[in-house]
Amino acid sequence: MKQMLGQIFRSGRFRLGFGIFAAIVLTVLIYPLVINDPPLEIVSRGTFLAPGIYVSVYDSVTASTRYTLIIDEAAARRIGSRLTADDRAAMQEWLVGTEIVEEGELNLDDTAALLELWHSSFDPAVRIPGMTNADRNYYIRLTASLDGLLATEGAIVAAPNATTGELEEQGVIEQTDYVNLSEVPNFRVLPLGTDNFGRDVLTELVSATGVSLIIGLVAGIVATTIGLILGLVSGYVGGVVDDIIVFITNLFTVIPSFVLLILISFSIGQEQRGAFTVAVVIGLTSWVWTARAVRAQVISLRNRDHVSLSKLSGHSIAYILAMDILPYIASYVVMALILQISSGILAEAGLSILGLGPRTTEVPTLGLMMNWALIYQAHIFGKWWAYFPVILVIALISFSLNLMNTGLDRVFNPTLRE
Amino acid sequence: MNSDSIILSGKGVTKVFGFGSRKTVAVDHVDFSFRQGEVISIVGESGSGKTTLAKLLLGLESLTEGTIYFEGQQRDIRSHRQKREYWKNIQAIFQDPFSAYNMFRRIDAVLLDCIQMRGGGRLPYEQKVAMMREACSFVNLKFDELTNKYPFELSGGQQQRLMIARVFLLKPKILLADEPTSMIDACSRATILDMLMALRAEIGMTPIFITHDIGLAYYVSDTVYIMEHGRFVESGSADEVILRPKEPYTRRLLNDVPKLHEEWDLSTV
- Over the stretch A40-99, which tens digit does the pLDDT of each residue have? 888 888 889 999 999 998 888 887 788 888 888 888 888 888 888 888 888 888 888 888
**A312 contact residues in B (CB cutoff 8 A):** 58, 60, 87, 91-92
> Please, which residues have CB within 8 angstroms of residue B88's CB and are 6 or more apart in sequence?
A314, B117, B118, B170, B172
Kindly state the percentage of chain A with pLDDT values over 90: 43
Query: Using DSSP, how many helices (H) and how many strands (E) does chain B show?
Result: 11, 10
pLDDT of B4: 60
Alpha-carbon distance of B236 to B226, in angstroms, equals: 9
Domain contains B81 = yes
Asked if A323 lies within 8 A of B105 by C-beta distance, the reply is yes
On whether both A19 and A125 belong to a single domain, the answer is no
Out of B84, B91, B102, the one facing A310 most closely (by C-beta) is B102
CA proximity to B219, closest of B43, B30, B6, B1:
B43
DSSP state of A200: B
Q: Which DSSP string do the residues of A309-321 spell out, in sequence order?
A: HHHHTT--HHHHI
On whether both A267 and A411 belong to a single domain, the answer is yes
**A314 contact residues in B (CB cutoff 8 A):** 83-84, 87-88, 113, 116-117
On whether both A177 and A234 belong to a single domain, the answer is no
Residue range B139-186, pLDDT digits in tens: 888 888 888 888 888 888 889 889 999 999 999 999 999 888 887 787
pLDDT of B262: 56
Domain contains B269 = no
Out of B87, B101, B102, the one facing A323 most closely (by C-beta) is B102
Alpha-carbon distance of B221 to A59, in angstroms, equals: 104
Alpha-carbon distance of B139 to B193, in angstroms, equals: 11
Alpha-carbon distance of A414 to B11, in angstroms, equals: 47
- Helix-strand-coil split of chain A, %, nearest 5: 65, 5, 30
Domain count, chain B: 1
Asked if B92 lies within 8 A of A315 by C-beta distance, the reply is no
Whether the pLDDT of residue A400 is over 90: the answer is: yes
| Containing structural domain, residue B32 | 6-260
- On the CB side of A170, CA atoms within 13 Å amount to 10
On whether both A163 and A141 belong to a single domain, the answer is no
pLDDT of B144: 86
Mean pLDDT of A370-387: 91
CA distance A315 to chain B (A): 8
Asked if B102 lies within 8 A of A316 by C-beta distance, the reply is no
- Max alpha carbon distance in chain A (Å)? 106
Residue of B nearest to A324 (CA): B102
> Please, which residues have CB within 8 angstroms of residue A332's CB and are 6 or more apart in sequence?
A293, A294, A297, A412
On whether both A238 and A350 belong to a single domain, the answer is yes
On whether both A350 and A309 belong to a single domain, the answer is yes
**A313 contact residues in B (CB cutoff 8 A):** 87, 110, 113-114, 116-117
Alpha-carbon distance of B129 to B151, in angstroms, equals: 18
On whether both A211 and A88 belong to a single domain, the answer is no
Q: What is the CATH number of the domain that holds B233?
A: 3.40.50.300
Neighbours of B7 (CB within 10 A): 22
Pseudo-torsion of CA A394, A400, A402, A408, nearest 10°? -160
Q: What is the CATH number of the domain that holds A267?
A: 1.10.3720.10
Residues 172-211 of A with CB under 8 A from B: none
- Max alpha carbon distance in chain B (Å)? 64
Does A169 touch chain B if contact means CB atoms closer than 8 Å?
no
Whether the pLDDT of residue A228 is over 90: the answer is: yes
On whether both A173 and A129 belong to a single domain, the answer is no
CA proximity to A409, closest of A310, A335, A306, A308:
A335
**Cβ atoms B66, B249 nearer than 8 A:** no
Mean pLDDT of A356-365: 86
On whether both A301 and A347 belong to a single domain, the answer is yes
Does B84 touch chain A if contact means CB atoms closer than 8 Å?
yes
Asked if B87 lies within 8 A of A327 by C-beta distance, the reply is no
Q: Taking CB atoms and an 8 Å cut-off, how many pairs form between chains A and B?
A: 53
Domain contains B64 = yes
Q: Look over chain A and give the mean of its residue pLDDT values, rounded to a whole number.
A: 88
Out of A313, A324, A328, the one facing B114 most closely (by C-beta) is A313
Domain contains B165 = yes
**Cβ atoms A213, A25 nearer than 8 A:** yes
On whether both A278 and A402 belong to a single domain, the answer is yes
**Res. A414 pLDDT band, cuts 50 70 90:** low
Alpha-carbon distance of B35 to B13, in angstroms, equals: 18
Alpha-carbon distance of B187 to B184, in angstroms, equals: 8
On whether both A171 and A205 belong to a single domain, the answer is no
Pseudo-torsion of CA A89, A90, A94, A100, nearest 10°? -30
DSSP state of B212: S
On whether both A391 and A310 belong to a single domain, the answer is yes
Asked if A308 lies within 8 A of B117 by C-beta distance, the reply is no
Cβ burial of A15 (10 Å; 0-12, 13-18, 19+) is middle
Residue range A266-314, pLDDT digits in tens: 898 888 888 999 999 999 999 999 999 999 999 999 888 999 999 999 8
Ranges in chain B, pLDDT < 70: 1-4, 258-269
Please provide the distance, in angstroms rounded to a whole number, between the alpha carbons at the two ends of chain B: 44
Does B113 touch chain A if contact means CB atoms closer than 8 Å?
yes
pLDDT of B263: 56
Q: How far is CA A182 from CA A56, A89, A185, A192, in A?
A: 12, 39, 7, 22
Backbone torsions φ then ψ of A98, nearest 5 degrees: -90, 5
Pseudo-torsion of CA A156, A160, A162, A165, nearest 10°? 140
State which amino acid sits at residue A105.
E
Domain count, chain A: 3
| Pairing mode of beta strands B73-74, B65-70 | antiparallel
Domain contains A316 = yes
Please provide the distance, in angstroms rounded to a whole number, between the alpha carbons at the two ends of chain A: 23
**Cβ atoms A345, A20 nearer than 8 A:** no
Q: How far is CA A252 from CA A291, A417, B22, in A?
A: 11, 34, 29
State which amino acid sits at residue B171.
K
| Containing structural domain, residue A385 | 2-43+196-416
Domain contains B26 = yes
Domain contains B58 = yes
Residue range A314-331, pLDDT digits in tens: 898 999 999 999 988 988
Alpha-carbon distance of A108 to A90, in angstroms, equals: 11
Does B112 touch chain A if contact means CB atoms closer than 8 Å?
no
Asked if A312 lies within 8 A of B58 by C-beta distance, the reply is yes
Q: How far is CA B228 from CA B215, B233, B234, in A?
A: 17, 6, 9
Domain contains B18 = yes
Domain contains A262 = yes
Question: What is the value of pTM for the model shown?
Answer: 0.81
Does A319 touch chain B if contact means CB atoms closer than 8 Å?
no
Domain contains B140 = yes
Best of B102, B106, B111 to disrupt the A interface (most A CBs within 10 Å) is B102
Alpha-carbon distance of A8 to A406, in angstroms, equals: 11
Domain contains A77 = no
